[in-house]
Amino acid sequence: MKISVIGAGYVGLVSAAGLAHFGHSVICIDTDIERVALVNRGKSPLREAGLDDLLSRCVLSEGSLKASTEYDGVLDTDITLICVGTPSNSDGSIDLGYVREAAKSIGGVLKAKDGYHLVVTRSTVIPGTTMDVVIPLLEKYSGKKVGEDIGVAFNPEFLQEGKAVQAFFNPDRIIIGELDSKAGDILVELYKDMSAPIVRTDVTTAEMIKYASNAFLATKISFINEIANICHRLGVDVYDIVNGLSFDYRIGDRFLNAGIGFGGSCLPKDLRSLVHASSTRLGYPALLLRAVLDVNDAQALKIVEITERKLGNLDGKKVAVLGLAFKPNTDDVREAPALRIIRELLAKGALVAAYDPQATENARAALPAGVRYSDSAAEAIADSDCVLIVTEWDEFSDENLYRGKTVIDGRRALDPRKACALCDYQGVCW
C-alpha cells in the first residue's frame, strides 16, 4: 500500500519506518524542516533503540520511506495516518490544534484526489474528536463526503518510549475504531503481518480504549505509591508487598514500581484531559482519576522533602541528580519528574549537578540556567552532599558508585541491603 504519515515524532516515525519495513511505500510529512532532513539522510531525530538501523535500511537501501514538509505527497497515497502531538492546554484540556491543522491540510489535498482515501487518526484524542473535529474538517476542506469518497478510522498506538520499535512490531493488541467495515478492512490488511489480536469497534469506543488504558496504568502507579506511603510509616517495605501481590494473577507485578511517580509525554497529559473532558463536558467529576493525579503530583517532591530532612536548609548545599529523562532508555524529558525536582532544589538555593546518559541536551533546553551538567554519574556524585536517583538507568544501579555518600533513591535503583552497607541510603517511600 502507499501510505502517508503526518508527524515524524515517536508514533509517526516509528509507524512510518515499521510500515516501510513491511514493504509499503511510505511518505512521512512533518512541519519541522530539520527533522525531515535528518530522516531523508536515514537518521533518526529521536533516540530510540533500533530506529536508526530501520531508517537507514528503509530510506537509504530500500527507498521505501521518505520524508517531506509538503502535504502534496498525500495525493499519491491510499491511506493517511495522523500522528501529530496532542499536548495539554494550561487548564488541563487537550490541545487539538495540531490535529485540526493536519485534518485541514489533508482535506485540502484530497480535494484533487480521484477515488477512495482512508484517513486514520493515531494521535491520542479525547473521545468524540474523530467524529466531531476530524470528519467535519476533512469534509469542509476536501468538499467530499466521509463514508463515500473518504474513509475514516481511529487506530491508537500503545508504544512505550525506549522500546518503541520493538513495541511497534510486537503489539499486545491492535484496536481498530472504524466508521464502516470498508475502512476497518483496509486496516486489517495493513496489519496482516502482525500476530496480535485485533479488536474492531466504533471510532469513539476505540478513542476511549486508549484513554482507559493510560488511565489504568497511571492508576496502578499512584495506587502502589499510596500503599508505599502507608507502608513507609509502618516500617514495612512496599517491594515485599508487591512481591506478595504479584502471585495473584488478577494483579500481577507490572507497573507497580513505587517511587517518585510517573511523567512523560502521555500519562500525565492524557489523564488531565480525560478528567477535564469528563468534568466539564460530561458532568462526571472523575474523582478516582483526580486522586491519581494528586498522589502523583505530591510524590515527586517527596525526594526534596527527604533531602531537606537529611541536609537541613538546602541553600548552598551540593545535590547530585542522577537521571533527567522521564524513564530510562529515552532522551525525552517531557513532564519528567527530574525537571520539577531540580526546579524545586534551585528555588531552595541548592547547587545542582545533574547527569543523564542521553537526555542532557533536552533537559538543558527545559530548565533554567544554574544547573551544572556532568559528563558522568561519578563526576556529579564526586563532591556532592547528597545524591538523588531520579531515573533508573542501568548504569546507576552499581552500589559501589555511592560509597560514603548520602543517597536518596527515587526509583529503587539500588538494592537497599547492599546500599545500606556502603552509604547513608534512604528510599523515597521505603
Residues within the interface to ligand NAD (CB under 6 A): 6-12, 29-32, 35, 83-86, 98, 101-102, 123-124, 157, 159, 161, 265-266
Side chain identity, residue 336? A
DSSP H or E stretch at residue 25: strand 25-29
The nearer residue to ligand NAD, 98 or 355, going by C-beta atoms, is 98
Q: How far is CA 169 from CA 9, 103, 175, 430, in A?
A: 17, 27, 15, 37
The nearer residue to ligand NAD, 161 or 237, going by C-beta atoms, is 161
Cβ at position 419, least distance to ligand NAD in Å: 31
Task: Single out the catalytic residue among 28, 83, 231, 266.
Answer: 266
Cβ at position 207, least distance to ligand NAD in Å: 11
Nearby residues of 381 by Cβ (< 8 Å), 6 or more positions away:
320, 322, 387, 401, 402, 405
Nearby residues of 37 by Cβ (< 8 Å), 6 or more positions away:
none
Contact 257, 334 (CB under 8 A): no
Virtual torsion, Cα 234, 239, 243, 248, nearest 10 deg: 70
Cβ at position 47, least distance to ligand NAD in Å: 12
Task: Identify the CA nearest to 276 among candidates 82, 83, 87.
Answer: 87
The nearer residue to ligand NAD, 42 or 171, going by C-beta atoms, is 171
The nearer residue to ligand NAD, 13 or 407, going by C-beta atoms, is 13
The nearer residue to ligand NAD, 104 or 343, going by C-beta atoms, is 104
**Is 266 tagged catalytic?**
yes
Cβ at position 156, least distance to ligand NAD in Å: 7
The span from the CA of 55 to the CA of 51, in Å, is 6
Cβ at position 268, least distance to ligand NAD in Å: 11
Nearest to ligand NAD by Cβ — which residue?
9
Phi, psi of 425 (to 5 degrees): -105, 140
Strand partners, 3: 26, 79
Coil, helix or strand at residue 256: coil
Residues marked as catalytic: 266
